[in-house]
Amino acid sequence: MSEFAGKTALVTGASRGIGRAVARRLAAGGARVIVHYASNDDLAKETVAEIENAGGQAYAVKAAFEDGVDALFDGLRDDRLDIVVNNAAILGGVLNSVTPEQFDRVFAVNVRAPYFIIERALPLLNDGGRIINVSSAVVRIALPDVVYSMTKGALDTLGFTLAPILGPRGITVNTVSPGVTETDMNAWLREDHDGAAERSVTEVTALGRIGRPDDIAGAVALLARPEAGWITGHVLDATGGYFLG
Ligand code: NDP
């Protein structure tokens, strides 16, 4: 696969989980990948090593988005970008458990950072580029983590409203919404020794299993491909058909 040959992709939150799978997938398609992470130096190195061992190109940049996005842009070795994937995010908490400081932190990482990453990336982003934000099915399914869900609603709105603004440059802005996916964010799945929690998800999932990071990477790659140039302002459900009714 060489659909991304000659392209440079920035993937936030690529030290593990979905972001790592996205980074690997874009690199497998020939992209040079900037692997962003917050604190897990070893895991970020692992992502870079996996890509390089497979013959791809990547380097890591550390930035905790509570502190803004300057560290990310200071760490870039590339002066041009083609694909920006806003994937990094953190969970919030249930009602009555989140302090105002925690609330601000979740919004800083999940909403403020993608907004300013896009703003800072735009002068570097080639015309015809791709912006892909990773949202969540929590936007259509009410789950108890209200604050996290609110941030994903904001991200959906960000994609929808930016698309017409960036359209004249041929830049598309799309959103991928995963359902329950096997990552650290869902540690409860690993503690689910009798399988009851997993069944509660798979029974209401059309494709009958939990999502894997590579499933989501596939959806991101679809929107990043040259053939997707006519798709913008779209929210792509990548849940395996979760809660379709
Ligand atoms: P993980 O928790 O597995 O990975 C989170 C990533 O974000 C890591 O690379 C982490 O870096 C980075 N990160 C964590 N905190 C910060 C911070 N403060 N500043 C900057 N980066 C940070 O997440 P997932 O792979 O599960 O999720 C990826 C995306 O998919 C998120 O947007 C999430 O909301 C969305 N999603 C996930 C679902 C799921 O079931 N897993 C379902 C629906 C949506 P480090 O390793 O250095 O901490």
pLDDT digits (tens, 9 = 90+) for 190-245: 888 899 999 999 999 999 999 999 999 999 999 999 999 999 999 999 999 999 98
**Contact in structure between 76 and 127 (CB atoms under 8 Å):** no
- Region 4-15 average pLDDT: 98
Ligand 1 surroundings by CB, under 6 angstroms: 13-19, 37-40, 43, 64-66, 87-90, 109, 134, 136, 178, 180-181, 183-186
Q: Where are the domains of the chain?
A: 8-185+213-236
What is the predicted pLDDT for the residue at 131? Answer: 99
Given ligand 1 and candidates 40, 67, 158, 183, which is best to mutate, with the most ligand atoms within 8 Å of its CB?
Answer: 183
Residues carrying an active site annotation: 148
Report the CATH architecture of 8-185+213-236: 3-Layer(aba) Sandwich (3.40)
119 CB burial (10 A radius; 0-12, 13-18, 19+): exposed
Rounded to 5 degrees, φ, ψ at 173 are -130, 115
Q: How far apart are CA 210 and CA 8, in angstroms?
A: 31
* 101 contacts 52 by C-beta, under 8 angstroms: no
